[in-house]
Amino acid sequence: MIHTDVIVIGGGPAGLAAAITAKRAGAQTLLIEREARLGGILKQCIHDGFGLVRFGEKLSGPEYAERFIHEFHEENIEALTLTFVTKIKKTDDGFVLSAVNRSGVAHLSAKALVLATGCRERTSKQVFIHGTRPSGVFTAGTAQHLINLLGQMPTKKCVILGSGDIGLIMARRITLEGGKVEGVYEAKPTPSGLTRNIYQCLHDYGIPLHLSKTVTKVFGADRLTAVEVCSVDKKMQPIEGTNEIIECDALILSVGLIPENELAESLGIQIDPRTKGPVCDEVLMTSADGVFSCGNALHVNDLVDYVSESGECAGKAAAGFARKERMELSLSVGENVQYLVPQRLNLNAEDLKTVLYFRSREVFGKCSFVMTVDGVEVFRKRYSVLRPPEMERVEYDFGPLGLTAESLVSFEIEEA
Amino acid sequence: MSKFQNICKKIAELSPNIRVSEARGCIVLQGEVGNWETAVKAGQLAVDKKRYLGVINDISLKGFVQNQRLPTEQDKSLDDERPDVLIIGGGITGCAIARDMSKYKLNTVLVEKGPDVASGASRANGGVIHVGINFSKHSQKHYYNIRGNRMYAGLSQTLDVPFEQKGQFLLCCKGWERLVVELLRLHGRSMGIPGVRWLDREELLKHEPCAPDYVVGGMYMPIGGITSPMEMTVALVENAVKNGVRIFLNTAVSGMETENGHIVSVDTNRGRLYPRLVVNAAGVYADKIAEMAGDRTFTIHPRRGTDIITDKKAGYMVKTSMEKSPFSILPYQKAQVTSGPFGSAKAILAALHSNTKGIGLIHSIHGNMLFGPNAVETPDREDTSTYRDEVDQIIEIQCHVATDLKASDVIAYFTGVRAPTYEEDFVVRKGVFTDNILEAAGIQSPGVTAAPAVAADISKWAVEYLAEKMTVEKNDSFDPVRHAPPRLAQMSDEDRDALICKNPDYGTIVCRCEEVSKGEILDALNSPVCVPTLDGIKRRLRPGMGRCQGGFCAPLVAQIIAEHQGTSLSSVKKNSAESIVTYGETKGAAQ
């Protein structure tokens, strides 16, 4: 059995950052990746726009990943690729993993774990699309895999459901490859993707965006031949009589991402129903001592720069992990906040300088992000606009507040 | 008034456009109607099992044309073949018959219209091995179900197919239902169904810890079980092929030549065959095949049933299979019950007569929760679509039985088209008007349970018939045993390690949700009935059946198939030859 200090599961941007940081903090570190190459989903994201926050330049996904992979190798960190973790067992002084690869089943032990397992896409069935079962229904990520990694064209003429960023990126990508995108349909009254992507991927290419409309049905016995679109009411339910048939050969779905936390769940880790990721403290430790979470497994990020940042936070903490008495305080959020990460603080921590990530529940014009302790306002940040697709980041040091386990720390978005 | 006149009168009241006549011992309905309900109702009114062989309902629906999916392949690979037995239909029944035929030294050919075995109702069902307490004692359904049920454990072991016999439950919410259960127990005993008994809530909870609060107890039927109908069908056909049967997928029967009640030849898209004996196991098209053979005494009226599958994480909500008793009126149903002394009685009667019975919850053999099906009459024999209102309704109903159920637990739903006759019974018999046909028709639920028993009778009759024309010898080299390819996710780390050392491909995980390795996919591609499509692999091994529904693994599986078959990625199909996945290479491919 291999023994190490920290095992990072997942070799995407979060896992790479976590492993590099853990190693630099002096921990013996091992990274496990299920695919053949490091880089995670960035490998197939050949568009630009990555790294603006972190490097001040517009990189493609592979370029962004390459910078970290380079550092990763410079640090001489061991990586097991094409290796799949099947089981994690808690032991007295850490964890034992069963990992499958082409050499067999290996058992690996570590004092601390970083789960950087990313996310998966919601499927057509999860948004209750009905009709036949033809080929030609793809999630945007699958279409991206086919086009960018395998050089295969999955459509000549398609409809895209969902205005999430990957859907927008794929609308442009398919157009550039000579395919026709009949339109992007979004059930919500506002777009789900970043504003810059609405302009750069749709407007610039003359691709129409239809809001408050959704796809309800697909047609075609073999390959998809058409989709039915419908206007939806405020509860996102299709309105009868508004249906329209659009002939196309594919339906591409960008209808949301779900953090992948099956391994975390197998350890009984508490999951936040709002983020679908583990409930974490200020150093991103989950409810299981010694298990840290980062990246899109923690919550779905809009920018990879923040994914790396959370990886670094988790990696550093995992390297310095030592079992100590904890004093936990949950942070509560008001109705206008969709979610807040981290969800709690360990008041016994020496340092309570914390990076907070949050999203608003809906679009708010002039508003403030306000923090109160026992009803008294202690922090306020003003925004000219807050949009759910755009994640916000706030740094705050809780140390000087002198919080106790009984304090009520609350966050809310107040409209001006 | 004679019985015939009585039927005529009732049907005339239903619609003036239907002509009723008697022919060859059957009651025949003809005409055109404006809605399908009328056509079905007429068929039901015409049933008189005592006086007629069956209902031939040829009423057409105005404006409806059956869009039949036919294979595009055209060749002569079966031309001039003279098999001893030609089995039409590669569902679980046809495949079970094929395997039983392989116990004899006979030239047996099975043709299946679809691109895979179990392409119809055999695949699209819950996999319940039924108890059959609700069948009539004199029905073929009961006769074959109880025999099939007894055969399943042994057959599953021989063929290395998963099978669990944890029983089945009918949940009751009123104390007085105990009396009904007692009556059913006695009824069951007289039908040869052992072990039926009442369990109080406390005892029931040991089997079904998530039974809802309002359940006071239930009927326990220990012989109920669960199989994987797809795996069973594949195992049956693989074993049949190993023992000498030839199977032709994408092969549809288009016509027959008959002479004096005898099938001379059968036309397919792969040429004309001259079989000695034909077995009709054609599912929703069984009446069409019987018609071609001149042996039709029944009508298939397609009935759509949709089932819903949840993530395995929700699998804990049911441990066996359970349904609400039809007598129980749940709190949510009270609003629909008319007030007055007979309100409840009426609701109960309506529930009893409804084809949906109580939709049930099933713990699938793979650990998901599966629930459904509903039952909707449809003129379309191939309408496997799902419909929003129906799926919503099934979920709505089941929320009251699986009380933790959330819409986000659902990962997939599918529809199967069942093949009932108007008599609502199987038609397993020798030819009535044609000497060289055997019918295995009208097979709806409990077809999966009944298949081995139906096959036993059909193969016995086939041998009896052929023995008069030729010498039929036992196949001495018949090997009943089939070993399923290894499933590594279910193994201990030690066994898994040992296998990977022998074949490293078992160590490359392709499907993360269901933990399927490249080696297992290659095994399926090298299996006796190889179906090198995304669906073929998915149905055998489940990559794409998990929570990501193939989002991650489909491109990887396609690559493995292309590599194995020595073809380009774009020639890998989802299912049928026309179900293109990609249109070729980028840069110009989309022009």
DSSP of B158-209: HHT--EE---EEEEE-STTHHHHHHHHHHHHHHTT----EEEEHHHHHHH-T
User: Which residue of B67, B309, B390, B493 to mutate against A (max A Cβ within 10 Å)?
Assistant: B493
* ipTM of predicted complex: 0.95
pLDDT in tens, A183-222: 999 999 999 998 999 999 999 999 999 999 999 999 999 9
| A and B: number of Cβ contacts within 8 A | 155
Strands B321-324 and B168-172: parallel
CB atoms near residue A226 (< 10 Å):
18
Amino acid sitting at position A407: S
Tokens 């039809």 sit on residue: B326
Q: Does B201 touch chain A (CB under 8 A)?
A: no
Q: Which tokens belong to B300?
A: 């298939």
Q: How far is CA B486 from the centre of its chain?
A: 25
List chain B residues with pLDDT less than 50.
353-358, 589-591
CB A15 within 8 A of CB A311: yes
Cα–Cα distance measured from residue B149 to residue B162, given in angstroms and rounded to the nearest whole number: 14
Q: Do B573 and A135 touch (CB under 8 A)?
A: yes
A window 240-279, beta carbon within 8 A of B: 265
A window 375-394, beta carbon within 8 A of B: none
* CA-based nearest distance B505→chain A, Å: 6
Residues of chain A contacting B412 with CB distance shorter than 8 Å: 125
Cα–Cα distance measured from residue B95 to residue B90, given in angstroms and rounded to the nearest whole number: 6
pLDDT in tens, B316-345: 999 999 988 877 666 556 555 555 556 556
Q: Does A127 touch chain B (CB under 8 A)?
A: no
* CA-based nearest distance A277→chain B, Å: 15
Q: Does B578 touch chain A (CB under 8 A)?
A: yes
B window 370-399, beta carbon within 8 A of A: 382, 384-388, 391-392
* Closest chain A residue to the Cα of B588, Cα to Cα: A178
Q: Of A292, A357, A285, whose CA–CA distance to A326 is shortest?
A: A285
Q: Does B515 touch chain A (CB under 8 A)?
A: yes
Q: Do B579 and A223 touch (CB under 8 A)?
A: yes
Amino acid sitting at position A392: E
Q: Does B504 touch chain A (CB under 8 A)?
A: yes
Q: Of B276, B292, B296, whose CA–CA distance to B463 is shortest?
A: B276
- Chunked mean pLDDT (size 10), chain A, 416 residues: 95 98 98 97 96 96 98 98 97 96 97 98 93 97 96 97 95 96 96 92 97 97 97 93 97 96 97 97 97 98 96 98 92 97 96 97 96 97 95 96 96 94
Q: Does A162 touch chain B (CB under 8 A)?
A: no
Count of all residues that appear for chain A in the document: 416
Q: Give B486's DSSP letter.
A: P
Query: What integer pLDDT is reported at residue B330 of this predicted model?
Result: 62
Count of all residues that appear for chain B in the document: 591
Select the residue of B493, B508, B585 nearest A151 (Cβ to Cβ). Answer: B585
* CA-based nearest distance B54→chain A, Å: 33
* Closest chain A residue to the Cα of B571, Cα to Cα: A152
CB B148 within 8 A of CB B132: no
A window 53-82, beta carbon within 8 A of B: 82
Q: Of B99, B87, B104, B90, whose CA–CA distance to B466 is shortest?
A: B104
Q: Does B500 touch chain A (CB under 8 A)?
A: yes
* CA-based nearest distance A204→chain B, Å: 20
Strands A180-186 and A209-211: parallel
Cα–Cα distance measured from residue B354 to residue B350, given in angstroms and rounded to the nearest whole number: 6
| Cβ partners under 8 Å of residue A241, min gap 6 | none
Q: Of B533, B519, B526, whose CA–CA distance to B489 is shortest?
A: B519
Helix (H, G, I), strand (E, B) or coil at B88: strand
Select the residue of B385, B509, B555 nearest A150 (Cβ to Cβ). Answer: B555
Q: Of B440, B345, B361, B424, whose CA–CA distance to B135 is shortest?
A: B424
Query: What integer pLDDT is reported at residue B325 of this predicted model?
Result: 82
Q: Do A146 and B501 touch (CB under 8 A)?
A: no
Query: What integer pLDDT is reported at residue A416 of this predicted model?
Result: 82
Query: What integer pLDDT is reported at residue B324 of this predicted model?
Result: 85
Query: What integer pLDDT is reported at residue B356 of this predicted model?
Result: 44
pTM of the model: 0.94
| Cβ partners under 8 Å of residue B489, min gap 6 | A86, B514, B515, B516
Residues of chain A contacting B590 with CB distance shorter than 8 Å: 153, 155-156, 174, 177-179
Q: What is the 3-state secondary structure (H, E, C) of chain A?
A: CEEEEEEEECCCHHHHHHHHHHHHCCCCEEEECCCCCCCHHHHHCCCCCECHHHHCCCECHHHHHHHHHHHHHHCCCEEECCCEEEEEEEECCEEEEEEEECCEEEEEEEEEEEECCCEEECCCHHHCCEECCCECEEEHHHHHHHHHHCCECCCCEEEEECCCHHHHHHHHHHHHCCCEEEEEEECCCCCCCCHHHHHHHHHHHCCCEEECEEEEEEECCCECCEEEEEEECCCCCECCCCCEEEECCEEEECCCEEECCHHHHHCCCCECCCCCCECCCCCCECCCCCEEECHHHCCCCCCHHHHHHHHHHHHHHHHCCCCCCCCEEEEEECCCEEEEECCEEECCCCCCEEEEEEEECCCECCEEEEEEECCEEEEEEEECCECCCCCEEEEEECHHHCCCCCCCEEEEEEEC
Give Dmax (Cα) for chain A. 65
Q: Does B547 touch chain A (CB under 8 A)?
A: yes
